[in-house]
Chains A and B, each alone.
Chain A
Amino acid sequence: MRYLMLLFIAFFFTACDEELVPPVEGELFKLEIDSPATLTIPVGSSRTLGLRGLYVTSETQSVSNTGVLQSVTYYHTSSDSSYVTMANSSAEWYSGNNNIATVYNGTVQAISRGTTFIYAKSAGITSGDITVIVN
C-alpha cells in the first residue's frame, strides 16, 4: 500500500511538472558561433565556444468573410523569430586547417602556430567563419 502511494505521488509530480525550457519550434534560419570574430589561442590550449540559432516561426491564419451571394477567404501570415542557445553537439564543426587547430563539439584545440578558421553546420545552415590565431 505504501509503495502504491509513493508511486501515485511520483506519478502526480511527474504529470504536473512544468516544462521549464520551451521546445524550439520553427525553422532554423541562421546559425552563429558565440565567439569574437577572431579568436587567439596559445599552442596546446583549448577553448570551448557556444552556439546559437535564429529560429523563425510563421503561422498562417485564414479569415472568411461571407455574405448572401459570396464568401471570400483571406490568408494572413505572421512571422516571429528568436535566438535560441543550441547544444554544441547539435551541429557539425569544421576547421579550415586541422594542423593548426581542431574543433569538436565547439571545443577548439590549438595544435600549432598559424591562422585558420572554424565554422559549424546544422540542418543545412552554415555559420559564419571564426578566425583562429594560434600563437
Chain B
Amino acid sequence: MKVKLLIILIFLIVVKTNAFGGDDKVVAPLLGITYGGFTPLHPGFDDIYTSTSSPMEYYFGVGYNKIYLIGKFKKFRGSGKSVTTDVNYIGNADYNQEFFMFGLRFYNNTPAKMKYFLEFGAVSSLVEESISTLNRQPELFSKTESQEWGFSIAAGGQFMFSDFVGLSGSAEYTRIIYNIEEGIERGDVNLGGFYFSVGIVFMPFSD
C-alpha cells in the first residue's frame, strides 16, 4: 500500500515538475468516480428488463492545457423476464453490458472553482445476455455475447472544493449500433443510452 502511494506521489511530482509551458499549461492527471442512472435506448429493453442497476463509472485521464485524454469504464446490469410463447414457461433474463470509453475531454477556460467540459470518445461495449426458463425441465437456457464499437458524447461541470477535489455532474449519450437477427426487436438497434451521473473528481495541478 505504501509503495503504491509512493508511486502515485512520485508520478504527481514528476508530472508537475515536467510541466510543459507556463503555470497555466501543465500535464495533469485526472481521476474520478461517478454514480448515476443509465437509460438504455433499445426499444424493447423495458419489455423484458424490469430491474436495472445504477452503474458506477470510473475514469482517469491526463491533460494538457484544458484538454484531457480520458478513459472511462462502467458496467450496467439488468434482470427481468424473457418472453415465452407458452404460458407454462416462465422466462428469466439477465443482461450485462460493459462500456470502455477512450476519448478527449475539453474544459473551458473559466476560473478554477467552476469548470465545464465537453467530451467525445470511442466506445467499446461488451454485451452479454442469458435467457432461461425457471419452472420447467429441462431448463431452456441460452446465452449470447457480443463486442461492438460506437461513440459517446458527454457534457458536464465540476465544482472544485479545493485545488484537487471537486464535485462533478454530467450527461452522456452513447450510440452503439448492433444488428440483431433474433430478438424482441430486430435489425439495427442502439445498445447505448443516456447516463446521468454525479461524482467526485480529483484533478490536481489542473490550473
Contact = CB atoms under 8 A, between A and B. Distances in A.
A63 B140 contact: yes
Q: Is the interface of A mostly helix, strand, loop or mixed?
A: strand
B78 to A, nearest CB: 9
A74 B127 CA distance: 24
B158 interface: no
Interface string A59-72: 00111111111111
Contacts of B183: 66-71
A66 B82 contact: yes
Given A63-B140, A65-B91, A65-B142, A70 B131 contact: yes
Nearest to B47: A68
Nearest to B83: A66
Given A67-B184, A68-B95, A70-B183, A62 B144 contact: no
B187 interface: no
Contacts of B31: none
Interface string B93-111: 1010000000000000000
A71 B83 CA distance: 9
B14 interface: no
A69 B127 contact: yes
B146 A67 contact: no
A68 B184 contact: yes
A61 B86 contact: yes
Please classify the interface of chain B as helix (H, G, I), strand (E, B), loop, or mixed, using the class held by over half of its residues.
strand
A69 B140 contact: no
Interface in B12-43: 42
A71 B133 CA distance: 13
B48 A68 contact: yes
B51 interface: no
A6 to B, nearest CB: 48
Nearest to A63: B86
Interface centre among A64, A66, A67, A72 (most CB of B within 10 A): A67
Interface in B113-145: 127, 129, 131-133, 140, 142, 144
A24 B178 CA distance: 51
B178 to A, nearest CB: 8
Contacts of A72: 131, 140, 142, 182
B140 A66 contact: no
B45 interface: yes
Interface string B70-91: 0000000000001111100101
Given A72-B140, A72-B142, A74-B140, A66 B89 contact: no
Contact of A62 (B85, B95, B133): B85
B83 A70 contact: no
Interface in A43-89: 61-72, 74
Contacts of B132: 65
Nearest to A70: B144
Contacts of A65: 82-84, 89, 91, 131-133, 140, 142
Interface of A: 61-72, 74
15 contacts: A62-B85, A65-B132, A66-B91, A66-B182, A66-B184, A67-B93, A68-B48, A68-B93, A68-B185, A69-B146, A69-B178, A69-B182, A70-B182, A72-B140, A72-B182
